[in-house]
């Protein structure tokens, strides 16, 4: 693909004179307690260029932005702005150095007009709204931003509000503008005009840093791309539109290359040992034409139809943000589909509450271990029995001894390691927390279907292997499994077949064999071969 | 009590700190607040000796005053226990005053209902007690329902429902069609008839010289039951899970909506019971000023107890005796009983402040 085609309809990127590094990061790392969010980052952001940070959730993109904008301070490494050391103590300090940031969440006062929002904190004394509005509108027009200064913010669309935030930053004439996932909240038709704005800002001489995990946007806007993965920069590209396939691979594969997918835990999995079965297998789960429109009107799921039979593991592949989370949330009973229906073991679950879904024999390993799957303040034993304490009740009171014994049994069976079953859940390691969640969900009475959303996220290799061993054992005992993951290699190793999500649709389906790896990778970037 | 968790030896120092926070700080706060109270008395030019002796006499001076103090503590404890139960589910019930009012109104109506006084086996006073509790419970459950269905914040709804309940109370003592006694002259007060003797909660001793009612043992039983339910029952466990993380609780199959409504029903029911006990054990007729702030003082008791039933009992006793002492101080030493309010406020502020610093220290 040539460059002209990649940025169709947009002024071509500035001629590639030698780029001048504006901000350089060398060896920058950030730890939060034991957790290393970023390590050893070397990046240069150049003036006149748009630099995209690409990566899955938790890859460290936002942390990197927060370091540059002074919200957090790096625990190692140095940053240099032009030739001076740059160590902003807080956002105000960063702004003083000409660094501005558009956050994912807007900080606007909905009841006030646009112009007031823009001038808050910037003016003293007499306020001449008209004159200011003219000045600001001129500035906005310069960058192709449409602005209605006297509209009330609350009446505007999300895209228009984002424009206000961008203008707010541009008013400071920044040298470096950071946009944290600016397109995540936008309607598809608003995205292109935002990308145009980014290009114009870059051409005006500013360095633009944009976080995204959407490949199509990179092709349109980026001069340079850095792929982050697990807190490290795993790939750089100065010609992103030519390197698209390599970027996809760097983003989704554990070691950055296609060849070495054998050493991350799933290779040591024991072979499947399915229970013998004759004739066609009954359906464990069925999704029928499911769609979901979110509160700002974006269609996140678009007519998804999928059937999983008993004993089958179906993998959901896709770059994050293509509808997988919404599907997981609907199947967990935490949100309701806008249209369409779904069934667990033949029973309709479309409008069911989580309790009814569990009662129908559905186990759920939610995407968010801390917010949805467990309660950190309670003990391990309590989390293992969350929602089924009734089992240990004698005359309404919990038989603690009984409960502890049941917890120890589960801990042994699922290899949950903790000082004892009364330890606070939040003190366990991520792997042990996840194994505990699995222990609970896989022992759901009469389990027929298991939803596992990113079950290995943030886990070490040993824990990953354990998690997948348990999931496959469940499938061997005739449970149907829907496995959502951003780790293509894991899906290939664990699933029977893989469906690929792109923009809320199932764009294709392939048997899970490493021969189909490249094909699936293409599907993930939206290309149907 | 039963709700103190067992800790492994490693964090024993934290337990000591916890004990310090739970026991020493409230005591220091109370002593300090009383000292400030004494300074205020001196500033008013009243002899300290007179004020203190009036206070002590009113609080503990006789069998009568001890009984009166205990009866006050009973009402505060019931509201406080309810507050703690709702707080376990992460809910703040500030509607105690209105729940007391509803309890009082319905208990009065039932006590005065034809035939009620003739019922055997003590039913004549038990039915109005239960009716008052249910009325308060429904009042609390409305807030729970609004929260589950419409997401309305229970702090706002319980408070506003309180105002409605208090005006309902005014209405029922003003209108002859409701509970106002028949007007025989222009001097007839806007209050209900006195309830028949058989509908009154019996006195423990049987003598009006020490008018402690059976409300006291009832409250002790309720406190023990509440402590056991909160720490050992499935219901208590589910409330705790809901309080910590309603999303995870729901996902794990706990009925969060039902839990919220039930918790506020129970909290309201205890408020309603407090109202019924106040009416049937102490006041015997319904008046406009019936609630006399027990709902809000009970809320403060619950807040100070920091989620512990033991704490509620201690706080209720303290505030109950202080109320009696304050009233006596006003009558005997002409120190305004508002001083007791000031001292209560001081205690609240110092305990809350100490808790803040203690929590901040342990977070580091």
Tell me the residue range of the domain where A127 lies.
3-10+22-252
Please check whether residue A336 touches B, CB under 8 A. no
In terms of average pLDDT, the best of A248-257, B87-96, B119-128 is B87-96
Tell me the residue range of the domain where B121 lies.
75-181+189-305
Q: Choose one of A218, A252, A286: the last residue of a domain.
A: A252
Whether residue A381 is found in the same domain as residue A408: yes
Does the CA dihedral B284-B288-B289-B290 come out positive or negative?
A: positive
Rounded Cα–Cα distance for residues A210 and A179 (Å): 5
Tell whether A258 is covered by a domain: no
A329: nearest CA partner in chain B:
B251
Cα distance from A428 to chain B (closest Cα, Å)?
15
Tell whether A295 is covered by a domain: yes
Please check whether residue A359 touches B, CB under 8 A. yes
More confident residue, A29 or B363: A29
Tell whether B56 is covered by a domain: no
Are the beta carbons of A172 and A98 closer than 8 angstroms?
yes
In angstroms, the Cα distances linking B203 to A328, B157, B248 are: 61, 36, 48
Are the beta carbons of A379 and A422 closer than 8 angstroms?
yes
Rounded Cα–Cα distance for residues A141 and A444 (Å): 59
Binary contact (A377, B249; C-beta < 8 A):
no
**H/E stretch holding A450:** strand A449-453
Whether residue A270 is found in the same domain as residue A246: no
Whether residue A435 is found in the same domain as residue A342: yes
More confident residue, A383 or B182: A383
What 3-state class would DSSP assign to A150? coil
Whether residue A459 is found in the same domain as residue A313: yes
CB nearest to A378's CB, from B233, B244, B251: B244
Per-residue pLDDT at B37: 85
Q: Choose one of A252, A278, A297: the last residue of a domain.
A: A252
Are the beta carbons of A211 and A59 closer than 8 angstroms?
no
Tell whether B80 is covered by a domain: yes
What's the maximum distance between 2 C-alpha atoms anywhere in chain A?
84
Binary contact (B251, A332; C-beta < 8 A):
yes
* Chains A & B: contacts with CB separation below 8 Å: 76
Please check whether residue A513 touches B, CB under 8 A. no
Tens of pLDDT along B10-61? 444 444 556 666 677 778 888 888 888 888 888 888 888 888 888 888 888 8
Interface test mutation site (partner A, options B8, B230, B252, max chain A beta carbons within 10 A): B252
Tell whether A257 is covered by a domain: no
Tell whether A16 is covered by a domain: no
In the structure encoding, which two tokens stand for residue A349, read together?
A: 């679950």
The torsion angles phi and psi of A497, rounded to 5 degrees, stand at -140, 160
Rounded Cα–Cα distance for residues A207 and A23 (Å): 9
- Residues forming a β-bridge with A316: A484, A499
Whether residue A243 is found in the same domain as residue A299: no
Interface test mutation site (partner B, options A349, A362, A396, max chain B beta carbons within 10 A): A396
What is the C-alpha end-to-end distance of chain A, expressed in Å?
15
Binary contact (B250, A334; C-beta < 8 A):
yes
Among B280, B289, B281, which residue's Cα sits nearest to residue B112?
B280
CB nearest to B244's CB, from A359, A375, A419: A375
Per-residue pLDDT at B107: 94
Please state the three-class secondary structure of A280-313 as a single string: CCCEEEEEEEEEEECCCCCEEEEEEEEEEECCCE
Number of domains in chain A: 2
Binary contact (A373, B251; C-beta < 8 A):
yes
Per-residue pLDDT at A147: 82
Tell whether B5 is covered by a domain: no
Please check whether residue A159 touches B, CB under 8 A. no
Among B342, B242, B299, B348, which residue's Cα sits nearest to residue B98?
B299
Rounded Cα–Cα distance for residues B352 and B278 (Å): 29
Tell whether B345 is covered by a domain: no
Binary contact (A387, B252; C-beta < 8 A):
yes
Cα distance from A441 to chain B (closest Cα, Å)?
9
The torsion angles phi and psi of B154, rounded to 5 degrees, stand at -70, -20
In the structure encoding, which two tokens stand for residue B240, read together?
A: 């705790």
Low-confidence residues in chain A, pLDDT < 50: 1-16, 255-264
A354: nearest CA partner in chain B:
B251
Tell whether A259 is covered by a domain: no
More confident residue, B196 or B218: B218
pLDDT exceeds 60 at position B215: yes
Whether residue A49 is found in the same domain as residue A148: yes
| Residue A22: other Cβ atoms inside 10 A | 22
CATH number of the domain where residue A40 is located: 3.40.50.300
Among B64, B33, B108, B67, which residue's Cα sits nearest to residue B284?
B108
Tell whether B300 is covered by a domain: yes
Binary contact (B234, A398; C-beta < 8 A):
yes
Tell whether A15 is covered by a domain: no
Binary contact (A398, B238; C-beta < 8 A):
no
Cα distance from A367 to chain B (closest Cα, Å)?
12
Residues of B with CB under 8 A from a CB of A: 6, 8, 228, 232-235, 237-238, 240-241, 244-245, 247-255
Tell whether A173 is covered by a domain: yes
| Residue B128: other Cβ atoms inside 10 A | 27
Considering only CB atoms, which chain B residues are within 8 Å of A358?
Answer: 252-253
CB nearest to B252's CB, from A386, A392, A420: A386
Considering only CB atoms, which chain A residues are within 8 Å of B240?
Answer: 378
Please check whether residue A354 touches B, CB under 8 A. yes
Angle at A337 between CA A335 and CA A342, to 5 degrees: 105
Rounded Cα–Cα distance for residues A435 and A410 (Å): 10
Are the beta carbons of B117 and B198 closer than 8 angstroms?
yes
Whether residue A270 is found in the same domain as residue A123: no
Interface test mutation site (partner B, options A333, A359, A363, A387, max chain B beta carbons within 10 A): A387
Please state the three-class secondary structure of chain B as a single string: CCCCCCCCHHHHHHHHHHHHHHHHHHHHHHHHHHHHHHHHHHHCCCCHHHHHHHHHHHHHCCHHHHHHHHHHHHHHHHHHHHHHHHHHCCCCCCCHHHHHHHHHHHHHHHHCCCCHHHCCCCHHHHHHHHHHHHHHHHHHHHHHHHHHHHCCCHHHHHHHHHHHHHHHHHHHHHCCCCCECCCCCCCCCCCECCCCHHHCCCECCCCCCCCCECHHHHHHHHHHHHHHHHHHEHHHHHHHHHHHCHHHHHHCCCCHHHHHHHHHHHHHHHHHHHHHHHHHHHHCCCCCCCCCCHHHHHHHHHHHCCCCHHHHHHHHHHHHHHHHHHHHHHHHHCCCCHHHHHHHHHHHHHHHHHHHHHHHHHHC
In the structure encoding, which two tokens stand for residue A396, read together?
A: 């309404």
pLDDT exceeds 80 at position B69: yes
In angstroms, the Cα distances linking B90 to A162, A339, B234, B304 are: 35, 34, 17, 16
Binary contact (A396, B249; C-beta < 8 A):
no
Considering only CB atoms, which chain B residues are within 8 Å of A333?
Answer: 251
Among A35, A111, A117, A122, which residue's Cα sits nearest to residue A370?
A35
Tell whether B261 is covered by a domain: yes
Please check whether residue A397 touches B, CB under 8 A. yes
| Residue A272: other Cβ atoms inside 10 A | 13
Are the beta carbons of B229 and B235 closer than 8 angstroms?
yes
Tens of pLDDT along A316-346? 998 878 899 999 999 999 999 999 999 998 8
Considering only CB atoms, which chain B residues are within 8 Å of A389?
Answer: 234, 237-238
Rounded Cα–Cα distance for residues A451 and B36 (Å): 62
Whether residue A240 is found in the same domain as residue A108: yes
Are the beta carbons of B280 and B211 closer than 8 angstroms?
no
B256: nearest CA partner in chain A:
A355
Interface test mutation site (partner B, options A329, A332, A355, A358, max chain B beta carbons within 10 A): A355
Per-residue pLDDT at A12: 45
Among A198, A196, A197, A227, which residue's Cα sits nearest to residue A210?
A198
Rounded Cα–Cα distance for residues A101 and A165 (Å): 9
Whether residue A232 is found in the same domain as residue A312: no
Tell whether B362 is covered by a domain: no
**In terms of DSSP bridges, do strands A313-317 and A362-365 run parallel, antiparallel, or are they unpaired?**
unpaired
Cα distance from B47 to chain A (closest Cα, Å)?
52
How far is C-alpha B63 from the chain's CA centre?
23
Gyration radius (Cα) of chain B, Å: 21
pLDDT average, residue stretch B165-194: 81
Per-residue pLDDT at A262: 38
Please check whether residue A374 touches B, CB under 8 A. yes
Cα distance from A414 to chain B (closest Cα, Å)?
19
Tell whether B339 is covered by a domain: no
Please check whether residue A13 touches B, CB under 8 A. no
pLDDT exceeds 70 at position B132: yes
ipTM of the prediction? 0.78
CB nearest to B248's CB, from A372, A389, A390: A372
pLDDT exceeds 50 at position B316: yes
What 3-state class would DSSP assign to A45? strand
Interface test mutation site (partner B, options A33, A335, A354, A392, max chain B beta carbons within 10 A): A354
Whether residue A283 is found in the same domain as residue A375: yes
pLDDT band at B9, cuts 50/70/90?
very low
More confident residue, B220 or B176: B220
CB nearest to A393's CB, from B234, B253, B254: B234
Rounded Cα–Cα distance for residues A331 and A202 (Å): 42
What is the C-alpha end-to-end distance of chain B, expressed in Å?
28
Number of domains in chain B: 1
Considering only CB atoms, which chain B residues are within 8 Å of A334?
Answer: 247, 250-251
pLDDT average, residue stretch B94-122: 89
């Amino acid at each position: 693909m040539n460059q002209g085609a990649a940025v169709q309809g947009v002024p071509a990127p500035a001629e590639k004179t030698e780029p001048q590094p504006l901000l350089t990061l060398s060896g920058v790392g950030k730890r939060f307690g034991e957790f290393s969010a970023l390590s050893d980052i070397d990046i240069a952001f150049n003036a006149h260029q748009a630099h995209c940070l690409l990566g899955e959730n938790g890859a460290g993109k936002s942390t990197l932005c927060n370091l540059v904008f002074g919200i957090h301070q790096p625990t190692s490494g140095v940053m240099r702005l032009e030739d001076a050391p740059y160590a902003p103590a807080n956002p105000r300090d960063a702004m003083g150095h000409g660094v501005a940031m558009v956050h994912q969440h807007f900080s606007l006062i909905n009841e006030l007009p646009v112009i007031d929002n823009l001038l808050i904190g910037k003016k003293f004394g007499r306020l001449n709204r008209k004159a200011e509005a003219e000045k600001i509108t001129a500035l906005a027009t310069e960058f192709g931003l449409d602005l209605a200064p006297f509209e009330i913010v609350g009446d505007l669309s999300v895209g228009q509000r984002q424009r206000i935030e961008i203008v707010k930053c541009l008013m400071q004439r920044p040298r470096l503008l950071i946009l944290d996932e600016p397109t995540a909240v936008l309607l598809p038709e608003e995205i292109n005009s935002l990308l145009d704005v980014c290009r114009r800002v870059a051409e005006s001489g500013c360095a633009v840093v944009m976080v995204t995990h959407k490949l199509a946007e990179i092709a349109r806007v980026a001069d340079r791309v850095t792929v982050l993965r697990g807190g490290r920069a795993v790939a750089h590209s100065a010609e992103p539109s030519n390197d698209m396939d390599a970027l996809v691979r760097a983003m989704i594969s554990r070691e950055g290359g296609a060849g070495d997918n054998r050493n991350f835990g799933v290779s040591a999995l024991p072979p499947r040992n399915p229970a013998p079965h004759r004739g066609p297998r009954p359906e464990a789960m069925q999704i029928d034409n499911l769609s979901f429109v979110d509160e700002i009107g974006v269609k996140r799921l678009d007519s998804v139809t999928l059937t999983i039979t008993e004993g089958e593991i179906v993998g959901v592949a896709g770059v994050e943000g293509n509808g997988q989370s919404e599907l997981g949330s609907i199947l967990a009973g935490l949100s309701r589909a806008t249209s369409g229906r779904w069934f667990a073991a033949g029973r309709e679950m479309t409008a069911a509450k989580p309790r009814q879904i569990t009662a129908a024999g559905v186990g759920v390993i939610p995407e968010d271990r801390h917010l949805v799957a467990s309660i950190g303040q309670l003990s391990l034993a309590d989390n293992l029995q969350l929602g089924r304490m009734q089992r240990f009740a004698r005359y309404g009171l919990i038989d603690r001894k009984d409960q502890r014994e049941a917890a120890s049994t589960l801990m042994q069976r699922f290899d949950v390691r903790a000082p004892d079953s009364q330890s606070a859940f939040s003190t366990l390691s991520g792997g042990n927390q996840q194994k505990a969640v699995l222990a609970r969900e896989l022992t759901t009475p009469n389990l027929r279907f298991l939803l596992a959303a990113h079950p290995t996220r943030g886990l070490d290799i040993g824990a990953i292997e354990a998690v997948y061993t348990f999931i496959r054992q469940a499938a061997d005992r005739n449970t149907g499994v829907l496995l959502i993951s951003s780790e293509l290699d894991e899906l290939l190793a664990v699933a029977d077949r893989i469906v690929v999500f792109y923009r809320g649709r199932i764009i294709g389906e392939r048997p899970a064999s490493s021969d189909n790896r490249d094909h699936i990778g293409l599907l993930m970037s939206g290309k149907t071969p | 009590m039963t709700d103190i968790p067992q800790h492994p030896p490693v964090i024993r120092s934290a337990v000591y700190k916890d004990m310090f926070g739970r026991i020493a700080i409230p005591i220091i706060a109370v002593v300090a607040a009383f000292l400030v109270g004494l300074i205020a008395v001196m500033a008013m030019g009243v002899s300290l000796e007179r004020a203190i002796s009036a206070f002590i006499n009113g609080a503990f001076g006789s069998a009568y005053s001890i009984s009166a103090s205990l009866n006050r503590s009973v009402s505060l404890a019931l509201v406080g226990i309810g507050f703690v139960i709702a707080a376990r589910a992460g809910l703040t019930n500030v509607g105690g005053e209105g729940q007391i009012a509803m309890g009082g109104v319905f208990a009065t109506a039932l006590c005065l209902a034809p035939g009620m006084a003739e019922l055997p086996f003590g039913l004549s006073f038990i039915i109005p007690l239960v009716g008052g509790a249910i009325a308060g419970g429904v009042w609390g459950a409305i807030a729970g329902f609004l929260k589950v269905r419409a997401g309305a914040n229970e702090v706002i709804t319980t408070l506003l429902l309180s105002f409605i309940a208090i005006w309902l109370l005014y209405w029922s003592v003003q209108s002859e069609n409701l509970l106002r006694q028949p007007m025989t002259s222009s001097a007839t007060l806007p209050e209900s008839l006195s309830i028949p003797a058989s509908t009154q909660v019996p006195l423990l001793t049987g003598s009006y010289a020490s008018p402690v009612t059976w409300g006291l043992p009832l409250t002790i039983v309720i406190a023990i039951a509440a402590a056991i339910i909160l720490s050992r029952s499935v219901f208590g466990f589910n409330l705790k899970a809901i309080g910590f993380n309603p999303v995870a609780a729901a996902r794990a199959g706990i009925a969060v909506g039902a839990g919220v409504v039930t918790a506020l029903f129970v909290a309201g029911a205890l408020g309603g019971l407090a109202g019924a006990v106040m009416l049937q054990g102490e006041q015997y007729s319904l008046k406009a000023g019936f609630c006399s702030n027990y709902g809000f003082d009970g809320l403060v008791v619950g807040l100070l107890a920091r989620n512990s039933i033991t704490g509620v009992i201690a706080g209720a006793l303290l505030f109950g005796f202080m109320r009696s002492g304050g009233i006596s101080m006003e009558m005997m030493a002409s120190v305004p009983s508002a001083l007791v309010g000031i001292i209560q406020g001081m205690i609240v502020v110092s305990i809350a402040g100490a808790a803040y610093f203690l929590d901040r220290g342990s977070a580091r």
